[in-house]
A and B are shown apart, each in its own frame.
Chain A
Amino acid sequence: MARYGMVIRTGLCTGCQTCSVACKMENLTMPGCARTRITERVDATWEIAACMQCEAPPCVGACPVKATSRNEKGVIVVDQDACIGCGKCIEACPYDARRLNPAKGYFSEPLPFEEMAKKAKEANRRHVAGKADKCDWCLHRIASNRPPMCVEACTTGARVFGDRDDPQSAVSRLIKEGAKQIKPELGTRPAVFYL
Chain B
Amino acid sequence: MRQTRREFLKTVAVAGSTAALLDCAGLLRRASAEEIAEIAAEKMGYTYCDGCNHVPMCGMVYYKRGNVITRLQTRQDHNYPNNTICSKGYAQLQEQYHPERLRYPLKRTNPKGRPSHWQRISWDEAIGTVAARLKEIKAKYGADKVCFFTGDPKEMRPVLQRLAYSFGSPNFGTESSTCFRSVSLGSLLLSGLPRPGAGPGKETKNCFVWGVNQSYSMATAMKGLIKAKDGGVRFFVVDPRKTPMVRTLNGYHLPLRPGTDGALAVGMMHVVIKENLYDKEFVDKWVHGFEELKSYVREFPPERTEQITGVPADRIVEAARAFSAGPSTVMLSASPVVHHTNGNQNLRAVLSLFAITGNCDRPGGMVVGPPPILPSTTDGHPVFCRRSDLLPKLQHLRADREYFPVWSELVSEIQVNRLPEYVDAGKIRAMVMFGGNAKMWPQPHLYQKALRRMDFSIAADYFYRPWTHDFVDMLLPAATCFERLAPAAVFGRSVYQRQPVRPLGEAREDWQIIVDIGTALGLKEEFCNGSLEAVINEDLKPSGLTVERLRNADGCMVALPSQAAPKTRKYELGMLRADGKPGFETPTGKIEVYSTILKKHGIDPLPTYKEPLESPVSDPRLAKRYPLVFMTGARVPFYTHTKWRDVPWLSELQPEPVVNLNPKDAGARGIKEGDKVILENSHGHITVRAHLTEMVTAGIVDMYHGWAKQDVNTMLTRDFDPISGFPPYKSALCNVRKAPDNAVI
Q: Which residues of A contact B (CB under 8 A)?
A: 11-18, 20-22, 24-26, 31, 34, 40, 42-45, 106-109, 111-113, 115-117, 119-120, 142-147, 151-157, 161-162, 169-170
Contact = CB atoms under 8 A, between A and B. Distances in A.
Contacts of B652: 31, 34
20 contacts: A14-B215, A16-B86, A16-B87, A17-B87, A18-B86, A18-B637, A21-B87, A22-B90, A25-B72, A44-B693, A113-B93, A117-B70, A143-B34, A144-B31, A147-B24, A151-B24, A155-B215, A156-B215, A156-B219, A156-B226
B84 A153 contact: yes
Nearest to A114: B97
A157 B223 contact: yes
Interface stretch (B240-248, B292-300, B442-450, B549-557): B240-248
Nearest first, the 4 A-B pairs at minimum CB distance are A14-B215, A14-B244, A144-B35, A21-B87
Contacts of A20: 87, 653
A15 B244 contact: yes
> Which of A18, A162, A170 has the most chain B CB atoms inside 10 A of its CB?
A18
B565 interface: no
Contacts of A169: 25
Nearest to A151: B24
Contact of B25 (A11, A43, A111, A162): A162
Interface string B58-92: 00000001101111101000000010111100110
B395 to A, nearest CB: 43
B694 A11 contact: no
A14 B25 contact: no
Nearest to B97: A111
Given A24-B90, A144-B38, A14 B216 contact: yes
Contact of B97 (A44, A113, A153): A113
B32 A25 contact: no
Contacts of A154: 84
Interface in B173-221: 215-216, 219-220
B94 interface: yes
B337 interface: no
B694 A43 contact: yes
B97 A170 contact: no
Contact of A170 (B23, B25, B31): B25
Contacts of B248: 11-12, 14, 156
A14 B222 contact: yes
B602 interface: no
Nearest to A32: B652
A154 to B, nearest CB: 8
A22 B648 contact: no
A17 B653 contact: yes
B1 interface: yes
B596 to A, nearest CB: 43
B242 A16 contact: no
Given A21-B90, A109-B99, A15 B35 contact: no
B416 interface: no
A45 B695 CA distance: 9
A163 B644 CA distance: 37
Contacts of B25: 162, 169-170
Contact of A26 (B71, B91, B97): B71
A146 B74 CA distance: 14
Contacts of A146: 1, 23-24
Contacts of B222: 14, 16, 155-156
B663 interface: yes
Given A16-B215, A21-B91, 12 more contacts: A14-B222, A16-B222, A20-B87, A21-B90, A25-B91, A34-B652, A40-B693, A44-B693, A111-B99, A142-B24, A145-B21, A147-B24
A170 B27 CA distance: 12
Contacts of A113: 68-71, 93, 97
A155 B220 contact: yes
B403 interface: no
A112 B501 CA distance: 14
Contacts of A170: 25
Contact of A11 (B65, B215, B247, B653): B247
A44 B694 contact: yes
Contacts of B66: 116
- The majority secondary structure among interface residues of chain A is loop
A24 B98 CA distance: 16
A116 B667 CA distance: 51
A147 B428 CA distance: 55
B139 interface: no
B29 A145 contact: yes
Contact of A111 (B74, B84, B94): B94
B650 interface: yes
B703 to A, nearest CB: 15
A170 to B, nearest CB: 7
A18 B68 contact: no
A156 to B, nearest CB: 5
B695 A155 contact: no
A42 B663 contact: yes
A183 to B, nearest CB: 23
B692 interface: yes
Given A21-B91, A22-B87, A16 B97 contact: no
Contacts of A145: 21, 23-24, 29, 32, 35
Contacts of B1: 146
Contacts of A161: 24
B649 interface: yes
A34 to B, nearest CB: 8
B564 interface: no
B29 A112 contact: no
A156 B226 CA distance: 8
Nearest to A37: B653
Contact of B87 (A11, A18, A116, A151): A18
Nearest to B653: A17
A155 B223 contact: yes
A15 B91 CA distance: 16
B247 to A, nearest CB: 7
Contacts of B68: 112-113, 115-116
Given A24-B649, A106-B648, A157 B637 contact: no
A23 to B, nearest CB: 9
Interface string B583-620: 00000000000000000000000000000000000000
A163 to B, nearest CB: 8
A42 B638 contact: no
B578 interface: no
Contacts of A34: 652
Contact of B219 (A11, A16, A42, A44): A16
Contact of A16 (B34, B637, B648): B637
Contacts of A11: 247-248
B744 interface: no
A12 B226 contact: yes
A120 B65 contact: yes
Given A11-B248, A144-B32, A25 B223 contact: no
A31 B648 contact: yes
B425 interface: no
Contact of A18 (B32, B90, B244, B673): B90
Nearest to B35: A144
Contacts of B649: 21, 24-25, 106
Contacts of A24: 90-91, 649
A43 B663 CA distance: 9
A16 B639 CA distance: 11
A48 to B, nearest CB: 13
Contacts of A21: 87, 90-91, 638, 649-650, 653
A169 B454 CA distance: 65
Nearest to A10: B247
> Which of A21, A44, A45, A146 has the most chain B CB atoms inside 10 A of its CB?
A21
